[in-house]
């Protein structure tokens, strides 16, 4: 699996140091691209050297996996494929189920939609608190033994849960939100991943578009998933845009775009960190990938640290219902919905 981009390790896989999060091609964010545009974006990413593509059973109720299945699998040997279970549609209804039986069913559905018999990296999308993590990981161990998946990942879980899971079977990756304005992994998970040789796969590394100039004072469409997130609502949005403006000033000084500066910051947090920004635009993807080749002075990165302290970012990350499904640590000063 070759790429002209810099590479990093995720378990047994060597991948481009920046992957592609595919969620917004089918799910959650608006405007959503037409299928043909989404297909072009995926192929452009592969041609540009991206070798990590991230999807999930949840995204678009399986439509995102179907999109990757029909678009990329004729070039299956050129990339690492990752997907997720636990959060999914079962019996026509969205739910969270980490039981071994549900995991096995969702995996079979994912294999069918992706048109493959093997998924390289398969995550537990969320922690089902009604099922011991050991039982959920055990179901994936059996999938590894059956040759249906190659490596096991966790998503949005704490360092304590990671250690329990890792005691059952080596965990290849922890996927969680990580950007200057969401730094919860710095409480414990980032260091635990480094200690255990687990990759930290950073989703929403551009703060769900806010640090890439994709959100203005008017906010987002009412049907967009971000509209329900407190940080995108008044009065928090205005305060967070003010932080973004300060980052834009640093980007001008450095001579890059805010998105590139933000991604450079995420990449600087450790060699085991792999960001997976999402986009519907090939031009924006090229802009993001260019962050892999820019050099940002340490002083500029340190200034970002001082701007985006946990106390400075305004508003809870999730609604109360969504936060209940999150196992990651929270700051003592962090507001919760």
pLDDT bucket at 93, cuts 50 / 70 / 90 = confident
Own/partner pairs for 46-50, CB < 8 Å, 24+ apart?
A: 46/72, 46/75, 46/78, 46/79, 48/5, 48/285, 48/286, 48/289, 49/3, 49/4, 49/5, 49/16, 49/289, 50/3, 50/5, 50/16, 50/18, 50/19, 50/20, 50/79, 50/285, 50/289
pLDDT bucket at 2, cuts 50 / 70 / 90 = confident
pTM more than 0.95: yes
Position 335 pLDDT exceeds 90: no
Q: Quick one: pLDDT at residue 101?
A: 97
pLDDT bucket at 21, cuts 50 / 70 / 90 = very high
Position 144 pLDDT exceeds 80: yes
Q: Quick one: pLDDT at residue 92?
A: 79
What is 7-323's CATH topology?
A: TIM Barrel (3.20.20)
pLDDT bucket at 141, cuts 50 / 70 / 90 = very high
Q: Quick one: pLDDT at residue 336?
A: 82
Q: Quick one: pLDDT at residue 31?
A: 94
| pLDDT digit string, tens, across residues 256-290 | 999 999 999 999 999 999 999 999 999 999 999 99
Position 167 pLDDT exceeds 80: yes
Please give the mean pLDDT across all residues of the chain: 96
| pLDDT digit string, tens, across residues 40-52 | 999 999 999 999 9
- Looking at the chain, the number of H-run helices and the number of E-run strands are 11, 12
Query: At how many degrees (to 10) do helices 298-307 and 236-254 cross?
Result: 170
Please state the rounded mean pLDDT for residues 101-113.
97
pLDDT bucket at 246, cuts 50 / 70 / 90 = very high
Q: Quick one: pLDDT at residue 94?
A: 85
Q: Quick one: pLDDT at residue 114?
A: 98
Contact assessment for residue 103 and residue 90, using Cβ atoms and an 8 Å cutoff:
no
Q: Quick one: pLDDT at residue 51?
A: 98
- Write down the domain spans for the chain: 7-323
Q: Which of 59, 123, 178, 318 is catalytic?
A: 59
Q: What is the DSSP letter of 10?
A: E
Please state the rounded mean pLDDT for residues 41-67.
97
Is the preceding omega at residue 148 within 30 degrees of 0, hence cis?
A: no
Q: Quick one: pLDDT at residue 241?
A: 98
- 3-state SS of 264-281 is HHHHCCCCCEEECCCCCC
Is 29 an annotated catalytic residue? no
Q: Which residue do the tokens 């924006």 mark?
A: 284
Position 1 pLDDT exceeds 80: no
Counting beta carbons within 10 angstroms of the beta carbon of residue 280, is it exposed (0 to 12), middle (13 to 18) or buried (19 or more)? middle
């Amino acid at each position: 699996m070759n790429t002209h981009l810099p590479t990093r390790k995720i378990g047994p896989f060597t991948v481009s140091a920046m992957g592609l999060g595919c969620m917004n091609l089918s799910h959650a964010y608006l405007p959503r691209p037409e299928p043909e545009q989404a297909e072009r974006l995926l192929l452009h990413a592969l041609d540009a050297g991206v070798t990590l593509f991230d999807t999930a059973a949840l995204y678009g109720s399986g439509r995102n996996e179907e999109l990757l299945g029909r678009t990329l699998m004729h070039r299956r040997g050129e990339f690492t494929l990752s997907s997720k279970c636990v959060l999914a549609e079962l019996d026509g209804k969205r739910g969270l189920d980490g039981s071994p039986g549900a995991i096995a069913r969702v995996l079979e559905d994912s294999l069918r939609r992706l048109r493959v018999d093997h998924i390289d990296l398969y995550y537990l999308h969320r922690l089902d608190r009604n099922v011991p993590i050991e039982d959920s990981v055990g179901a994936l161990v059996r999938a590894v033994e059956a040759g249906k998946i190659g490596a096991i990942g966790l998503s949005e879980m704490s360092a304590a849960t990671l250690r329990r899971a890792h005691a059952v079977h080596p965990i290849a990756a922890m996927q969680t939100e990580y950007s200057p304005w969401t730094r919860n992994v710095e409480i414990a998970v980032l260091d635990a991943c480094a200690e255990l040789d687990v990759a930290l796969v950073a989703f929403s590394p551009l703060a769900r578009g806010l640090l890439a100039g994709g959100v203005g004072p008017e906010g987002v469409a009412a049907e967009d998933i971000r509209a329900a997130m407190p940080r995108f609502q008044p009065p928090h949005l205005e305060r967070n845009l003010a932080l973004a403006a300060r980052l834009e000033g640093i980007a001008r000084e450095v001579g890059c775009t805010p998105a590139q500066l933000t991604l450079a910051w995420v990449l600087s947090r450790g060699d085991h960190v792999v960001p997976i920004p999402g986009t519907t635009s090939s031009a924006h993807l090229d802009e993001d990938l260019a962050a892999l080749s820019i050099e940002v002075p340490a002083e500029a990165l340190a200034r970002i640290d001082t701007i985006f302290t946990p106390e400075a970012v305004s508003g809870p990350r999730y609604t109360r219902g969504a936060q209940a499904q999150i196992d990651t640590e929270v700051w003592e000063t962090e507001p919760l919905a």
